[in-house]
Amino acid sequence: MSTIVRRTTSVRTRTRTRTHTRARTRAGAALLSAGLVLLTACGGGSSTKQSDKAPPGYPVTLTACGKKTEVPAPPRRAVSLDQGSTEILLSLGLADRMAGTGTWTDPVLKGLEKENAKVPRLADRYPSLEKVLDEEPDFVSASFLYTVGKGGVADRAKFTDLGVPVYVSPTDCAGKDNAGDDDGTRTKTLTMDTVYGEIRDLARVFDVRERGEDLIADLTSRTAKASRSIDASDTTLMYWFANSEAPYIAGCCGAPGIITRELGAKNAFADTREEWPQINWETVADRDPDVLVIGDLTRKSQSAESARQKIKFLESNPATKNLTAVKKKRYVLLSGQALNPTIRTVDGIEQVAAGLRRFGLAK
């Protein structure tokens, strides 16, 4: 098996919609500093005002990506800074307790449109820290550590210094090394149990535990139904998220790994634990996957975002047009969120299973 070849351009711009400009202008930085001083002097707004007496069951203390966060009362003005986190909160029926959302890759999950319309969208990408603080949040959630780190909205320490609890999904930290400038490496294989852990954490924070268990039960049932009586052990899958020049292809052990294992298939790049390594097309051609699972994104931050653009490239590029999957047009289209470790990973299991059956590759 050939060695995976990576491009030196690998940066955190793939699955987390990392298009936020890392360097602020001097004027913007000065404005931010002034705003933080003012907010601190004023007590951080209503987000820091809590009753002296905690409600029953509170404060709730969680460990979020290596740091403890304490939530003194059920949030009333939550801001979710990644789409995956947003869709969990909306699925838990919490739209009326959300003050804003940000960082979107796709249209909202079907069935959540009405609830989502009730919540202000602060930005399609990363909202500024000032814009988030304008909503006087009493809780902030994120799917990715990067979102509340250097280069994202703001380091979570800035929120906690103002008395705003921050929760980061364990799917981006548990059994994962995020050192470096890429998308991290899975030291332990991700499972849906970690996603379910996030649901339970958020349901506990908002005191809607029963809703959380109902959501998990539904996702578990759907997964079992999609994978029932399917055996794709002779089928090789490759997952392409974005970028035609140096494509981000899924390694073994993130969300695409969950999909692959549930269906008993093989990942063409199972020999790397990197989350989304950038791999050249010659190496892809050498692996020659049976099926291409393609991210169909609506954002416009990189080349070949939509499935249409990806397929056009695959069918015209000399290095890819003779791939088995291309010649037989074995394409399964997934939203970007289905390729992230979120509740939509279950959508990915269902859609890939349907594709394998359609292609006659599921025993």
Locate 197 and state its tokens.
């852990």
pLDDT of residue 44: 42
pLDDT of residue 52: 59
How many residues are there in the chain?
363
Name the percent of the chain in helix, strand, coil, to the closest 5. Answer: 35, 15, 50
pTM of the predicted structure, to 2 decimals? 0.85
* Residues 334 and 345 sit within 8 Å (Cβ to Cβ): no
What is the 3-class SS of 290-347, one letter each residue?
A: CEEEEECCCCCCCCCCCHHHHHHHHHHCCCCCCCHHHHCCCEEEECCHHHCCCCCHHH
pLDDT by 10s per residue, the chain, length 363: 434 444 433 334 444 433 333 333 333 433 344 444 434 434 444 444 444 577 899 999 999 898 999 999 999 999 999 999 999 999 999 999 999 999 998 999 999 999 999 999 999 989 999 999 999 999 999 999 999 998 899 999 999 999 999 999 999 999 999 987 788 999 999 999 999 999 999 999 999 999 999 999 999 999 999 999 898 999 999 999 999 999 999 999 999 999 999 999 999 999 999 999 999 999 999 999 999 999 998 877 777 889 999 999 999 999 999 999 999 999 999 999 999 999 999 999 999 999 999 999 987
Domain 56-219 has CATH 3.40.50.1980: yes
What's the rounded Cα separation, in Å, for the pair 268 and 284?
8
Residue 30: how many CB atoms within 10 A of its CB? 11
Locate 347 and state its tokens.
């959508």
What's the rounded Cα separation, in Å, for the pair 123 and 161?
23
Q: How many CA atoms lie within 13 A of 67 on its CB side?
A: 12
pLDDT of residue 31: 38
SS3 of residue 123 by DSSP? strand
The DSSP element (H or E) to which 223 belongs, if any, is helix 209-227
Instruction: List where CATH 3.40.50.1980 sits in the chain.
Output: 56-219, 231-358
For 231-358, CATH gives: 3.40.50.1980
* Residues 216 and 198 sit within 8 Å (Cβ to Cβ): no
Using the structure block, give the residue that is written with the tokens 């003194």. Answer: 72
